[in-house]
């Protein structure tokens, strides 16, 4: 349970990863179509807000691309008492509920099926990274609400959950985050184009979209989960996409670390101000 003062904090960044070496396919036409002309190895503006759900033990809102971009809120409740039906004798039970706002293009049935897939991805990641053995017979309940969809929804949801778990001070094996890329085959090009943080339009024309969840990047002890939406043509294409998604994940993890450090400093300042105010009133 969180006992410290929760101070909402917004922390934004437009991240750009360095260009990789070697020949690259022509992107002159496609670059003009990307929002704000961003490079294929650049993300949209990222914004993280901690404490967005006041009654939760931990919460976070992740926004990719501003008001018209993807927006996801995750909240964590627990560890709390777990009913006998859900109890696991030697570890905590993890419950995940996802709600996706309906759009004009997607009906309720489509939103429900996408929510079920997202629930499975998040739960598998959490079971691999939360130290559930430290909380036997308890329950960690995670609620995810996708407010707006404009690409990279799985990535945004996982990063929101990771931030909410850290905000709730849930013990985890290592820091973790997700990165996403879309692999697009351009007309007249023999090689494919790897786009980090794709929006909905880019996902629609992609051969496949790969989301990679990474925790503790040491190969011996690390955790990796991959979600592929679409069809992979070649092993080389998959390897390149996976490497790019790992780079994006590491960039997001560093950004999350900076945002969390800023949240801690902000919380300490707020607590210090409250203590000073009480001391002045007492005197």
Each residue of 188-222: pLDDT tens digit? 666 788 999 999 989 998 999 999 998 874 555 56
Average pLDDT on 240-253 reads 92
Each residue of 48-97: pLDDT tens digit? 999 889 899 999 999 998 888 999 999 999 898 888 888 888 899 999 99
Q: What is the pTM of this model?
A: 0.82
Residue 230 near residue 154, CB atoms below 8 Å: no
Q: Where are the domains of the chain?
A: 43-271
d(CA 18, CA 261): 24
Domain 43-271: which CATH number of 2.60.120.380, 3.30.230.70, 3.40.640.10, 3.40.50.12780:
3.30.230.70
CA-angle at 245, arms to 19 and 132, nearest 5°: 145
Q: What is the pLDDT of residue 15?
A: 36
Each residue of 144-196: pLDDT tens digit? 999 999 999 999 999 999 999 999 999 998 889 999 999 998 776 667 889 99
């Amino acid at each position: 349970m969180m006992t410290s003062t929760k101070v909402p904090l917004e922390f934004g960044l437009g991240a750009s990863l360095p260009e990789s070496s070697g020949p690259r396919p022509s992107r002159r036409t496609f670059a003009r179509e990307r929002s704000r002309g961003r490079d294929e190895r650049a993300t949209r503006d990222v914004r993280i807000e901690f404490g967005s759900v006041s009654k939760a033990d931990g919460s976070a809102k992740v926004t990719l691309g501003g008001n018209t971009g993807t927006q996801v809120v995750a909240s964590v409740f627990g560890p709390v008492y777990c009913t006998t039906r859900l109890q696991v004798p030697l570890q905590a039970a993890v419950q995940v509920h996802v709600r996706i706002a309906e759009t004009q293009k997607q009906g309720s049935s489509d939103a429900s099926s996408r929510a079920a897939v997202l629930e499975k991805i998040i739960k598998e990641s959490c079971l691999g990274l939360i130290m559930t053995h430290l909380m036997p017979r308890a329950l960690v309940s995670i609620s995810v609400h996708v407010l707006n969809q404009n690409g990279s929804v799985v990535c945004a949801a996982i990063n929101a959950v990771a931030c909410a778990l850290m905000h709730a001070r849930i013990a985890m094996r290592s820091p973790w985050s997700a990165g996403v890329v879309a692999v697009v085959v351009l007309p007249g090009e023999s090689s494919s184009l790897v786009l980090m943080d794709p929006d909905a339009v880019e996902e629609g024309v992609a051969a496949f979209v790969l989301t990679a969840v990474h925790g503790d990047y040491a190969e011996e002890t690390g955790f990796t989960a991959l979600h592929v939406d679409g069809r992979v043509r070649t092993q080389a294409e998959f390897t390149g996409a996976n490497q790019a998604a790992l780079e994006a994940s590491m960039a997001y993890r560093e950004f999350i670390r900076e945002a969390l450090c800023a949240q801690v400093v902000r919380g300490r300042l707020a607590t210090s101000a409250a203590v000073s105010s009480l001391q002045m009133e007492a005197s």
